[in-house]
Amino acid sequence: GREVGVRADEQVVIASVFKILLVLEFARQVAAGQLDPTERVLVRADDRLGGWGIAGCADDAEVSLRDLAYFAMSVSDNTAADLLLRRVGPDVVPMLAAELGLSRTRIVGGPRQLVETMLADVGARTEADFARIFPTLPPERVRAMRVFDPAHTTSSTVRELTRLLGLIWRDETGPPAACAMVRELMGRQLFWTRLASGFPPGVRIAAKSGTLPGLHLEAGVAEYPDGGRYAIAVSTRTERLDTRRIDVDLAMGEAARVAVEALRAG
């Protein structure tokens, strides 16, 4: 199909956008009868990683596998994603990318490995140490961390991300029920300030975001009332090493809308 792209084949860090592949693998295993989505998982203190969702729980929590998938997609819950990755098998997600022909997509572990790498790169032993050390680092030291290098962390290209989305929306990544589960969960992402912010009411956006200091990205699909569907991926790098940049988020949404409007007008 037709496309609009800028540096679409550049290798970029994708951070939590990898959770699309993780949840797709979970959905495929559920559809194949290999996993029971209602299976219960006890989340203990040692399982919790920083970020949103279950990480904020003061006590042990018991959730189903499908609720782990929901939390991983809706609020990018790293604890949920890490536990789900353990259950589906950490080696299976890279194999899925290869099976789908995503030759530029590189999966290096999961959220726990990413956190461990960040701690090691700044010489921190705990997340509390990291929170103390990280703000004192000069920008060049931060950008030298492995999590910002596409050659040393989970990465892909925006072209491959949009190709993956197209396959999911056409039910070409597994049984239709598995693809539908991924689409439904992507539609429940709570963060709206990136792609969704650029489109008018009536356009449905299903997306997954990824964020690191100075790195903001999102991949998703815009579905128009007339049936038009458009796979979108936007990746940005900023000089300021912030994770919350509403100006950047809104610019991403605007860029996405302009690109889609160009396709619709063409």
**Does residue 176 sit within a domain?**
yes
Mean pLDDT to the nearest integer, 22-42: 99
pLDDT score for 243: 80
Task: For the chain, report the end-to-end CA distance as a whole number of angstroms.
Answer: 12
> Does a structural domain hold residue 241?
yes
2 found inside a domain: no
Residue 1 lies in a domain: no
Q: Which residues contact 4 (CB under 8 A, 6 or more apart)?
A: 259, 262, 263
- CATH number for the domain that contains residue 124: 3.40.710.10
- On whether the CB atoms of residues 209 and 189 are closer than 8 A, the answer is yes
Give the tens place of pLDDT for each residue, 111-162: 999 999 999 999 999 888 999 999 999 999 999 999 999 999 999 999 999 9
Q: Are 222 and 229 in contact (CB under 8 A)?
A: yes
Query: pLDDT tier at 242 (50, 70, 90 boundaries)?
Result: confident
User: Considering its fold, how many domains does the chain have in total?
Assistant: 1
**Average pLDDT over all residues of the chain:** 96
Residue 225's domain comprises 12-265
Note the pLDDT tens digit of each residue in 33-44. 999 999 999 999
Instruction: Give the contacts of 191 (CB within 8 A, at least 6 positions apart).
Output: 75, 76, 209
Let me know if residue 4 belongs to a domain.
Answer: no
Q: Give the model's confidence band at 88: pLDDT under 50 very low, under 70 low, under 90 confident, else very high.
A: very high
Distance CA 100, CA 51 (A): 30
Q: Residue 1 above 80 pLDDT?
A: no
pLDDT grade, residue 175 (50/70/90)? Answer: very high
Position 153 in a domain: yes
159-177-190-126 Cα dihedral, nearest 10 degrees: -80
| DSSP annotation of 130 | H
